[in-house]
DNA sequence: CAATATCATTAAATCGATTTAATCGCTATT
DNA sequence: AATAGCGATTAAATCGATTTAATGATATTG
């Protein structure tokens, strides 16, 4: 029982395949096709469960109804959650997702973009690594809808969705200062990506305003957690005077907790903590760790809305938009009184 | 600057497109095409960076080099990790992944399978929900390579990769018994899936062997964590005599920890804990929670290896295989002496 | 009534590849 | 000298849709 093609349908009904195609694509009225013919075709198509071959369709029309989604690492809970929400919205709008993890590797990303292009995806959602500016630009020049998220590329003018990174860390750091902490470290992955730089800057700004000395440790990213924990531990051991630590990403945060646990440090008596990204680990740590929660749903919603918009309006000359979303600062592990004071 | 097609190449070189196709598909020798011609074509193709249109290719050959991956929920860290590993291996072998989350919803899964089929994916990797037996069977009957994982469908004979669920919970429960715990509860999601039933059975078996009374709480799955935590909390409040709790999945485990935290229970003095699936939360909880770790890499490796095998050997009459992998029982939060005793 | 519109439908071209079957020029065989 | 065989290449069919341009039939118009 082979799959039926449009020709089979046409033959069986003694109608040309052109007519079938018109009817199935809702152009019956426009083409003034007889009402009973339309019904007869629709009935038969429903009966045998015919579905047009989408490869053939794509080949002819140039559309694939596939969106390419490139995250940094699908096994990172932040990206997994975003991907999940985007997937749902995309499917509801008739789009499928092909996804992949870039590992922030420029060459890998380049390959992946070329594979996506090859597959004729209709649009791209990308958390871009550095160095990929030209490839993205050429996509855009070809008229491809591209939405960046989590970070952006200053040299590329396109739509992107981000959070207010600088204010988030600035605000949280200021909170630490107000609590009376003096020696506040910031530990992050070494990266020139916009979001990482903005977060670092927010921290520095808050310290500078209060004439405090910054302690920054940048760690080279690695799949191997040991290689993250080792320098982290060395840093903490070197700076015995620290009374608070700010983790720049969820991954640094969990690695940091492991180190702190293994060193037997007490939170927040020995060391107060804040992490970027909120996450079960931080809520369940005892005492729970304060964290900056990104608005995952809003990010996913914005990304897909912007992209669908671009897909549906063929005019390429809408000026691109940047959406900057607010984060939530979830203060934990401090007394009720302090919470109130900070939240005003 | 439009994308080049094989015709453009052919015209430019004054050769037929047939020849180009043969050369590009490595059939030059077989077709005895002149050596310098081959070189001339290859040089030009490399020069202009021509890449065959894969849609057209798929349409003609019926192959897509796409693997459909259906997990329960990509935002669940277990599935996210598996997906990531499968993705890597697939890309290395020239396959792309289209993935989706089934939510264990039979109807949604049916739709998704039909979408995958429509896209002509070459093979399927599925963590199947119940009730999808017929759809999977029909895929297999059509000659599609299908590999199930995490669970299997008893009424469908196909390859699958699983862990030894029954032994895992049996062994861990027995450990609790040996530690002297008497009132051990098992909290899980209500599900007839094979892995869930096997885990439950392992727990029951261990208790039965020791003439202990089982306390089982089955919770209806929900996206909303409140709806998981509420019945969980009610259960714990009802059975004040419990001295240990076994969580059947990572999600139940983290929700359980939240409830236990909010109730102010001390672990393991008030309540000893074990969770299925190991996970940062359990390692960082204080004191850390014992957990059964699935061999993520081995699962992903097995799955993709089996599938690639099926894709490469066209003969469909290799008997299907079931791969059952061992888990690691990570005992935490007990004294060194006890650990040694248990591990022998 | 011839010319023109309108209707309803369809033949044929097209998308960009693969693959089958044919072609053409030579050489070897009988 | 006719035929067969081979080597190198290609014309044409095919995959399954969409879309343009055309067709035949009927209705309208001046």
Separation between the CA of B20 and the C1’ of D1 (whole angstroms): 39
Say yes or no: Cβ of B59 under 7 A from any atom of strand C: yes
Mutation target among A121, A284, A289 for the B interface, most CBs of B within 10 A: A284
A314, pLDDT greater than 80: no
Region B4-19 average pLDDT: 94
Separation between the CA of A10 and the C1’ of D29 (whole angstroms): 37
3-state secondary structure chain A: CCCCCHHHHHHHHCCCHHHHHHHHCCCCCCCCCCHHHHHHHHHHHHHHCCCCCHHHHHHHHCCCCEEEEEECCCCCHHHHHHHHHHHHHHHHCCCEEEEEECCCCHHHHHHHHHHHHHCCCCEEEECCCCCCHHHHHHHHHCCCCEEEECCCCCCCCCEEEEECHHHHHHHHHHHHHHCCCCCEEEEEECCCCHHHHHHHHHHHHHHHHCCCCCEEEEECCCCCCHHHHHHHHHHHHHCCCCCEEEECCHHHHHHHHHHHHHHCCCCCCCCEEEEECCCHHHHHCCCCCEEEECCHHHHHHHHHHHHHHHHHCCCCCCCCCEEEECCEEECCCCCHHHHHHHHC
pLDDT for A143:
87
Say yes or no: Cβ of A59 under 7 A from any atom of strand C: yes
Q: Do A75 and B75 touch (CB under 8 A)?
A: no
Separation between the CA of A13 and the C1’ of D28 (whole angstroms): 33
Partners of B120 on chain A (C-beta within 8 Å) are 55
Say yes or no: Cβ of A7 under 7 A from any atom of strand C: no
Separation between the CA of A256 and the C1’ of D18 (whole angstroms): 57
Region B183-210 average pLDDT: 97
Q: Do A75 and B91 touch (CB under 8 A)?
A: no
pLDDT for B343:
40
Say yes or no: Cβ of A18 under 7 A from any atom of strand D: yes
Partners of A258 on chain B (C-beta within 8 Å) are 280, 283-284
Say yes or no: Cβ of B311 under 7 A from any atom of strand D: no
Q: Do A96 and B115 touch (CB under 8 A)?
A: yes
- Encode pLDDT of A150-185 as tens digits: 999 999 999 999 999 999 999 999 999 999 999 999
B13, pLDDT greater than 90: yes
Residue of B51, B143, B65 lying closest to B97 (CA atoms): B65
Partners of A77 on chain B (C-beta within 8 Å) are 75, 77, 80
Return the nearest residue to C6, CA–C1'. A32
- Encode pLDDT of B14-44 as tens digits: 999 999 999 999 999 999 999 999 999 999 9
Q: How far apart are CA B48 and CA B4, in angstroms?
A: 9
Measure in Å the smallest separation between the Cα of A280 and chain B Cα atoms.
7
pTM of full prediction above 0.85: yes
pLDDT for A334:
56
Per-residue confidence band for B314, with pLDDT thresholds at 50, 70 and 90 = low
Q: How far apart are CA A26 and CA A20, in angstroms?
A: 10
Q: How far apart are CA A295 and CA A315, in angstroms?
A: 30
A210, pLDDT greater than 90: yes
Separation between the CA of B37 and the C1’ of C27 (whole angstroms): 23
3-state secondary structure chain B: CCCCCHHHHHHHHCCCHHHHHHHHCCCCCCCCCCHHHHHHHHHHHHHHCCCCCHHHHHHHHCCCCEEEEEECCCCCHHHHHHHHHHHHHHHHCCCEEEEEECCCCHHHHHHHHHHHHHCCCCEEEECCCCCCHHHHHHHHHCCCCEEEECCCCCCCCCEEEEECHHHHHHHHHHHHHHCCCCCEEEEEECCCCHHHHHHHHHHHHHHHHCCCCCEEEEECCCCCHHHHHHHHHHHHHHCCCCCEEEECCHHHHHHHHHHHHHHCCCCCCCCEEEEECCCHHHHHCCCCCEEEECCHHHHHHHHHHHHHHHHHCCCCCCCCCEEEECCEEECCCCCHHHHHHHHC
Say yes or no: Cβ of A19 under 7 A from any atom of strand C: yes
B183, pLDDT greater than 90: yes
**Residues 6 or more apart whose Cβ sits within 8 Å of residue B341:** none
- Encode pLDDT of A125-136 as tens digits: 999 999 999 999
Name the pairing type of β-strands B184-189 and B159-163.
unpaired
- B45: tokens are 């193709």
Tell me which nucleotides of strand D come within 7 A of a protein CB: 7-12, 14-21
A118, pLDDT greater than 60: yes
- Encode pLDDT of B104-140 as tens digits: 999 999 988 988 888 889 999 999 999 999 999 999 9
Return the nearest residue to D14, CA–C1'. B60
Residues 33-52 of B with CB under 7 A from strand D: 33-34, 37
**If you search the block for the tokens 């299925």, which residue do you land on?**
B276
Measure in Å the smallest separation between the Cα of B211 and chain A Cα atoms.
35
A17: the nucleotide nearest its CA (via C1') is C10
- Encode pLDDT of B241-298 as tens digits: 999 999 999 999 999 999 999 998 988 889 999 999 998 999 988 788 999 999 999 9
| Cβ neighbour number for residue A317 with a 10 Å cutoff | 5
Say yes or no: Cβ of A279 under 7 A from any atom of strand C: no
For B96, which of A56, A98, A101 is closest by C-beta distance?
A98
Closest-approach residue (CA) in chain A for B98: A98
Q: Do B81 and A75 touch (CB under 8 A)?
A: yes
Name the pairing type of β-strands A272-276 and A244-247.
parallel
């Amino acid at each position: 029982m082979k799959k039926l093609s449009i020709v089979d349908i046409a033959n069986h009904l003694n109608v040309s395949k052109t007519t079938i195609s018109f009817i199935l694509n809702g152009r019956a009225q426009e083409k003034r096709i007889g009402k009973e013919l339309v019904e007869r075709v629709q009935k038969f198509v429903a009966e045998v469960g015919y579905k047009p071959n989408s490869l053939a369709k794509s080949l002819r029309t140039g559309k694939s109804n596939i969106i390419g989604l490139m995250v940094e690492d699908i096994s990172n809970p932040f990206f997994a959650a975003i991907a999940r929400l985007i997937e749902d919205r995309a499917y509801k709008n008739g789009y499928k997702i092909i996804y992949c993890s870039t590992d922030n590797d420029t060459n890998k990303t380049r390959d992946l973009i070329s594979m996506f292009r090859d597959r004729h995806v209709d649009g791209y959602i990308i958390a871009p690594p550095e160095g990929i500016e030209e490839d993205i630009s050429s996509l855009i020049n070809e008229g491809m809808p591209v939405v960046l998220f989590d970070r952006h590329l200053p040299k590329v003018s396109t739509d992107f969705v981000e959070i207010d990174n600088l204010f988030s860390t600035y605000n949280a750091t200021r909170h630490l200062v107000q609590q009376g902490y003096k020696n506040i470290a910031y530990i992050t992955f070494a990266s020139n990506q916009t979001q990482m730089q903005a977060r670092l800057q927010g921290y520095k700004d808050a310290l500078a305003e209060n004439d405090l000395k910054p302690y920054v440790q940048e760690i080279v990213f690695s799949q191997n957690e040991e290689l993250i924990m080792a320098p982290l531990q060395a840093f903490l051991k070197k700076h015995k005077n620290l009374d608070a630590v700010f983790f720049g990403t969820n991954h640094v945060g969990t690695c940091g907790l492991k180190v702190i646990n293994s060193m037997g440090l007490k939170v927040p008596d020995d060391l107060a903590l804040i992490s970027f990204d909120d996450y079960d680990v931080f809520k369940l740590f005892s005492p729970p760790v304060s964290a900056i929660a990104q608005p995952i749903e809003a990010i996913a919603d914005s990304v897909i809305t912007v992209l669908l918009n671009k897909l549906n309006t063929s005019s390429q000359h809408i000026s691109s938009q940047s959406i900057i979303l607010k984060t939530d600062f979830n203060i934990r592990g401090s007394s009720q009184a302090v919470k109130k004071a900070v939240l005003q």
